[in-house]
Amino acid sequence: MTMNLITGKAGAPHITSSDQGAMQAGLVGNGNYLLQGSDGKFPAVTMQSANKALIPVLNLVIEGRYARVTAAETVTIESGVTGRNRNDLICVKYTRDSNNIETIALAVLKGTATSGTAADPTVPSGSILNNSGTVWIPIARIPISGITDGTPVMLVKQLPPMSQLWDSVTLTKSNANWDVNYRTAFVGGMLIVAFHASRLNTDWNAVREWEVSPLFTLPTGLKAAFEVHCAAVSNSSVGLHGVEVQAAGNEIALRSSAKMTIGKGGWVEGCITVPL
């Protein structure tokens, strides 16, 4: 029989980690994700000393498996060489033995030193979902320039909580020069924002195209997957083609399409769809 009622009573143990992992991967995605901590923030790897990287308490979903770093832990980074550059990867190393016993541990993949631009080391192939015996999951890059370790770069995607993914999203108004009213709708991986912004305090004088004036900041964990622009309208002389609204990173801003002025009391309104 190939069909199982996983969460039904079977009279004998029948739920495996693969069952739970497959369900969680189906819900959140097949990739590797960082969950926010109890303080509402996404933790990050830091350098504790020249050769010690500090991995804080982390909650991860790695190819459907839920894993935790329950107490801060350090890993050793091998010293660099003067005049050479190197990238090391801090990874979660997953193993499955012949008895299907699964374990994870933090490990470092050492890169190759070079006099030019450093590249990440090759990550061995493998997939938990495909029952590989060993899988390496990079969570942070340590860039090393000479004998100096740089700031760690988090590689695992941030997965915002469900509380931020309902039909509406609360935005932070990031510019005191605009009085902004807005509505949002979250549909799948798309955030739709409709807004009306009235200019306060001073004129906005854009002396050239592509100047920006911020309107909103997206909540922690949400950012545009790529930069997008949409036409906006205004009651000033800029008309339809003089001003746009753009989303880049975690910021939504107005952007001039040419030299233009929106005077105090002028307004701009529009709508933008932000791919997350």
User: Each residue's pLDDT tens digit in the chain (276 positions)?
Assistant: 577 777 777 888 877 788 788 778 777 788 899 998 888 889 999 999 989 999 999 999 999 999 999 999 999 999 999 999 999 999 999 999 999 999 999 999 999 999 999 999 999 999 999 999 999 999 999 999 999 999 999 999 888 776 665 546 778 887 789 999 988 887 767 889 999 999 998 899 888 888 999 999 888 778 899 999 998 988 876 655 578 999 999 899 999 988 888 989 899 999 999 998
- Rounded Cα gap, residues 78 and 198, in angstroms: 55
CA distance 83 to 203: 51
Nearest to 241 by CA among 232, 249, 250: 232
Q: Are 34 and 138 in contact (CB under 8 A)?
A: no
DSSP class of residue 241 equals T
- Give the C-alpha separation, 200 to 106, whole Å: 52
pTM of the model: 0.62
Q: Which helix (H) or strand (E) holds 208?
A: none
Question: Which residues have a Cβ under 8 Å from the Cβ of 216 and sit 6 or more positions away?
Answer: 171, 172, 173, 174, 180, 182, 193, 195, 251, 252, 253
Q: Tell me, what DSSP letter sits at residue 114?
A: B
CA separation for the pair 183, 201 (Å, rounded)? 24
- Count Cα atoms within 13 angstroms, Cβ side, for 153: 10
